[in-house]
Amino acid sequence: MSTRANDGSERRGGRAGQEGGTGGRPRRDGRPGAGGKNTSHGMGLTTDPGHDSLVDVPGGIRLQKVLAAAGVGSRRRCEELIGEGRVEVDGEIVRRYGARVDPDHQIIKVDGRRIPSRQDLVYLALNKPAGVLTTMSDDRGRPTISDFLGDRAERLFHVGRLDYDTEGLMLLTNDGELAHRLAHPRYGVAKTYLADVAAPLPRDLSRRLITGIELEDGVASADKFRVVEQAGSRALVEITLHEGRKHIVRRLLAEAGRPVSRLVRTRIGPVTLGNLRPGTTRALTTREIGELYAAVGL
């Protein structure tokens, strides 16, 4: 049924007519109303607020399925994130729940943070015990970090090294580009250590470490330094630095007059050792991986 308006044009009555005959009002979250899909007839393009120009990858995987597999959340939660405009593929915000993507070659981000979309990539944290070599094998039969990884099919890279006698957090992955950047001095990813040293501590120790101390291969300095505790002749200190030179923490503290008797790395960038037991591993969370990507510009 139609009525004639004062200007002589026809005006359709009813809700369907008001919405252009699509049979349903678009929902605020960008999904079609219950009455039907909001598409431009003959063009196959969405006309609801969720329209985007990303071209679907033939044979690709639905975006919400990729997000859920990466640990972002349930399939329903991932659909909500898409509808809220919080998901990007190759730099473009995508609002279509059915968008098909290639997780092996496209960069997918949630809230600006990249997610680990490739299913073949592994990201692990290891608490390396003292007396273990940072290598995958040793021709002299000494313990190596591979002894704690089980029978994994993937070829994993260790990110940087820890001295034979140093304990604590190591990252292992088969994501070669991420491993390379995390270890490269250019990106300056900060690392934090707990060191057991002799007490009492000089009053100017913090200032000297942060200002910089001359070593045989140049000046080295700490980003942060604090005393955790002092008891009798021993002190526990925390030192953060972004340098990656060999034995740098031990050399720096020794030059400051406080040789290290025990050293434990507790943090690499956003990843912390936490309560991970010595000789055990855990998978990094989606958030941790995204923050590592961000730290090195990936």
Q: Residue with structure tokens 């313990």? A: 143
The one catalytic residue among 52, 56, 147, 163: 163
56 tagged catalytic? no
Residues annotated catalytic, as ranges: 163
